[in-house]
Amino acid sequence: MKIVWIGLAGALALCVIILLVRQALLYSSLREITQELEDRLNADTNTTIFVSTGSRTVRTLAARMNVQLEQLRRERLRLQNGDAELKSAITNVSHDLRTPLTAICGYLELLEREPHTDQSKRYLSVIRERTETMRTLTEELLQYSVVTAASDSLRVETVSVKSVLEQSLATFYGVLSERGISPSIELPDDPVKRALDSGALRRIFDNILSNAAKYSDGDLSVTLSPDGTAVFSNLARKLGRVQAERLFERFFTVESARGATGLGLSIAKQLTERMNGSISANYADARLHICVHFPERATGETHI
């Protein structure tokens, strides 16, 4: 009887060992599939998931995942081609519009020098306003297509964030004054230096200030902290929390904003993230707050 119990115990122990081994092999196979899947998702490759296990179930799982990966690759390629075609179309249309717009502006200047009645002056004023709006929209479209299609690296150098912000504020001072906005500015004594592309940084600040000029209800507060955080705050009663969260979406516009393509803040977001920074919008108590932060080790990337 004792021998029987010993035999049963040995058989049970052997079964446990076999189960543990199979479980370990299964875990190893699952880890292998997980790693293979991550590699395929992160790399632009047509290779499929390969597993070394002999388990039919695991191999079936890998085969089904390969089918899904192939469908994902085809969909990604379709979207990439469509996006490239859209950017190319925007670039071409923008270029095609610039030439006749330049000619129109030139002839408009000549026409404005001629004697006019009060009524004709009003007509010319409307034409001038609409032409400038169209030229601004065209330039924004061209700017967006250039930024999103850029494949070369940013020209990274040591930049004074404070100086670039001051330049942008000086440029927009006239525009803000025309809208009755006297900005409240708070800058640190130190220059706040970062490794960034000065042109890209200037474009970010310009686009944010342009947005403030469109949406502000009469005020603007600009602060720059020593940690590389710039905050632009203005009263914007016509906005809402949902609209504020969508401000960085391309082609999203607020109904009250005239002459807007919805590309300015989208460009600012792409450029900020290319330089390892962060940008966000918050809406509270009828005020819009746009925050841009560049960490001390922020550097330009080579791709969008």
What average pLDDT is seen over the chain?
Answer: 80
* Residues in Cβ contact with 164 at an 8 Å cutoff, skipping those fewer than 6 apart: 198, 201, 202, 205
8 A C-beta contact, residue 201 and residue 164:
yes
* pLDDT over threshold 60, residue 52: yes
* pLDDT over threshold 90, residue 54: no
pLDDT at 138: 80
> How large is the average pLDDT for residues 30-50?
74
pLDDT at 256: 46
* pLDDT over threshold 50, residue 26: yes
**Lowest mean pLDDT: which of 10-19, 143-152, 209-218, 290-299?**
143-152
> How large is the average pLDDT for residues 10-32?
73
* pLDDT over threshold 80, residue 177: yes
> How large is the average pLDDT for residues 65-88?
76
